[in-house]
Amino acid sequence: MGDFNWNWQLDGWIILTAVICALACSLVGNFLVLRRMSMLGDAITHAVLPGLAVAFVVTESRSSFPMFVGAAVVGLCTAFFTEWIRKSGRVDEGASLGVVFTTLFALGLVLIVHWIDRVDLDANCVLYGSIELTPLEQVNILGIRMPRAFLILSAVLGLNTIVITLFYKELKLASFDSVLASSVGFSPATIHYVLMTLVAITAVASFESVGSVLVVAMMIVPPATAFLLTRRLFQMLVVSALIAAFSGILGHLSAIAVPSWFGFRSTSTAGMMAVAAGSLFTLAAVFAPHDGIAIRLWHQILLGLNILADDIVALLYRVEEKQGRKEAESRWIREVLLCNRLAFIAVKRWLLFRGELRSNANQISLTERGHHRAQNLVRSHRLWEQYLLDEVGLDPSRIHPQAEKMEHYTDRDLREKLHQAIDNPDIDPHGSPIPVELSKRPKK
C-alpha cells in the first residue's frame, strides 16, 4: 500500500461536505425518480449555468444569494420551456428537454468563457467541481471556522428538509396521482415548480463540490438504489439518505486510497462518489430482497429442481400404472427425462430426504408420500389435457406438451375448478384414467 495522506483538518471537512452535498441532492432526487423526471433533473442542473454566469457578471461577486436567484430563475425557465415546447411543438418530453437544456448549457459555457477575465469562475470547475479545494475557503460562524461550501450546502439541505417535510403529503399525492391532486385542489403545477426550484438551488449549491455533471448522479443514483430496496416512500427517503452519505464517505476514502495502491496520486473525490453510488446501485440490483437478480436466479433454480422432482415421481407413477412395476432403475429414469446428472443426483437426494422416494441398490421407488404427490400431479396433467381439448379447443397433438407445463403450477383448488369445468370425467383424452384427488398427505 502506498502513502495514505490523511489530514483531519482537510479530509474531515471534505468528507463532511461530500456527505451533506449527497444528502441535499438525494433528498430532492427521490421525487425526481418517482415522478419519472430524472432527465429533467439532469437538464436543470446543466441549464442553470447561464443564470450563474449572469449573476456573477451583474453583481461582480461570488456571493451566494444572487447566484441562487439566477439559478432558480433559469431552473424554473427550463421546466417551463420544456413543458411549453412539449405542448406546442408536439414533440415528446425527451426531445424538448434536449432542445432546452443543451441550448441553455451552451449559452452558459459561452458566457463563462467570454467573461473569463472578469469572473473568478473556471469552466472545468463548473463541470467537475473541486471538492478538494473547498476547505481552503473558510468562514467564521458562531466562533467555528468552517468551509464556505459546507455552510451553504448545510443551509440548502435544511431548506430541502423543511420544504419536503411541509409538502410531504402534497408531494406524495401529486407524484402518485396528479389527476386526483388537481381534482381536490392541490395544484400539481405548483408542486412541480416548487420541486424544480429546490432542484435548481441544490444544483447551484453543489456545483462547487461535485460539478454540474456529477450532481445529477447524486440526485438520481441513491434514490434509484433505495427504490429497489424499499416499498414505502418514507423508507425510501431514509435509505436513499444513508446510501448518499455512504457514497460521500466511500467516495473520498477511495479517491485517496485506491490510486495509491497502484502508485498513482489521489484522484477526484466527486468522481469516486459517483462511482461509489453506481457500485451500490449495482449491488442493490443484484441483491435486492424482493426482485433482485440473485433472488430471481435462485427462485428459477429452485423452480427447475422442483419441476424435475415432479417429473421423477410422475414417471415412477406412470411406470407402475402401465407396467405394474413399482421400482425403476435410477439411470433409466435420468435418461428418459434427459436431465443433467448433477441435478438428478441432487433432486434424488432431496426426495429421499423428504421421504418421497426410497432407494434399493440402484433401483428407486415411490413411498406412500411420494405416491401421493405423484397421483395429484398426474391428475392435474390429465385434467388439463381434457380441459385443453374440450374447452380451449386445442389440437390433440398440442395438449400433452401444454399440460406437461401447467401440471407443475396446479394446486388443489385449481384441480377442483378444472374438474367441475369439464363435467367430472374419469378418463383423459388418451384413455388413461384420471386418478382421484388425494387430500390428506401421509406422514413421513
Partner 1 sequence: MQPLENQIPTTSKSPLSVQDLTVAYHRKPVLWDVGFEIPQGSLVGIVGPNGAGKSTLLKAIMGIVPLASGRVQIFGKNYRKARQQVGYVPQKESVDWDFPVTVLDVVTMGLYKKIGWFRPVAGKHRTQALQALESVGIADLANRQISELSGGQQQRTFLARALVQDAELYLMDEPFAAVDAATENAIISMLRKMKSNGRTTIVIHHDLQTVPTYFDHVILLNMRVVADGPVEKVFNEDNLNKTYGGRLTLLDEVSEAMRRRERSL
- Distance in Å, CB of 179 to partner 1, minimum: 5
146: left (phi over 0), alpha (psi -120 to 50) or beta: beta
State which amino acid sits at residue 146.
M
Task: Rule CB under 8 A: choose which of 110, 113, 141, 180 binds partner 1.
Answer: 180
Stretch that binds partner 1, among 15-23, 93-101, 166-174, 359-367 (CB under 8 A): 166-174
Q: Which stretch binds partner 1 (CB under 8 A): 15-23, 43-51, 163-171, 417-425?
A: 163-171
Tell me the closest approach of the beta carbon of residue 27 to partner 1, in angstroms: 15
Q: How many residues bind partner 1 (CB under 8 A)?
A: 27
In angstroms, give the least distance from the CB of 60 to partner 1. 39
User: What is the nearest approach in angstroms of partner 1 to the Cβ of residue 231?
Assistant: 4
Q: Does 294 bind partner 1 (CB under 8 A)?
A: no
CA distance 169 to 413: 42
Nearer to partner 1, 214 or 284 (CB): 284
Residues 313-342 close enough to bind partner 1 by CB under 8 A = none
Between the CA of residue 352 and those of 331, 357, 365, what are the distances in Å? 16, 5, 10
Find the binding residues for partner 1 in span 217-256 (CB under 8 A).
227, 230-233, 235-236
Q: Confirm if 200 and 24 have CB atoms less than 8 A apart.
A: no
In terms of Cβ atoms closer than 10 Å to its own Cβ (0-12, 13-18, 19+), residue 90 is exposed
Q: What backbone phi and psi angles, to 5 degrees, belong to 329?
A: -80, 135
Per CB under 8 A, 173 contacts partner 1: yes
Kindly report the number of other CB atoms within 10 A of residue 116's CB atom.
12
> Could you give phi then psi for residue 147, rounded to 5 degrees?
-65, 145
Residues 84-143, interacting with partner 1 (CB under 8 A): 90
Q: Give the range of 42-50, 164-172, 273-281, 353-361 binding partner 1 by CB under 8 A.
A: 164-172
CB 182, min distance to partner 1, A? 5
Of 21 and 181, which CB lies nearer to partner 1 in the complex structure? 181
Which three cell numbers mark 164? 419536503
Sorted by sequence, the CB contacts under 8 Å of residue 197 that are 6+ apart come out as 72, 75, 76
Nearer to partner 1 by Cβ, of 18 and 244: the residue is 244
Amino acid identity for residue 214 in this structure: L
The region of 56-64, 99-107, 182-190, 372-380 touching partner 1 under the rule CB under 8 A is 182-190
Contacts of 308 (CB under 8 A, 6+ apart): 337, 339, 343, 344, 347
C-alpha cell at 52: 450563474
Amino acid at 390: D
Query: What residue ranges bind partner 1 (CB under 8 A)?
Result: 34, 36, 90, 166-170, 172-173, 175-177, 179-180, 182-186, 227, 230-233, 235-236
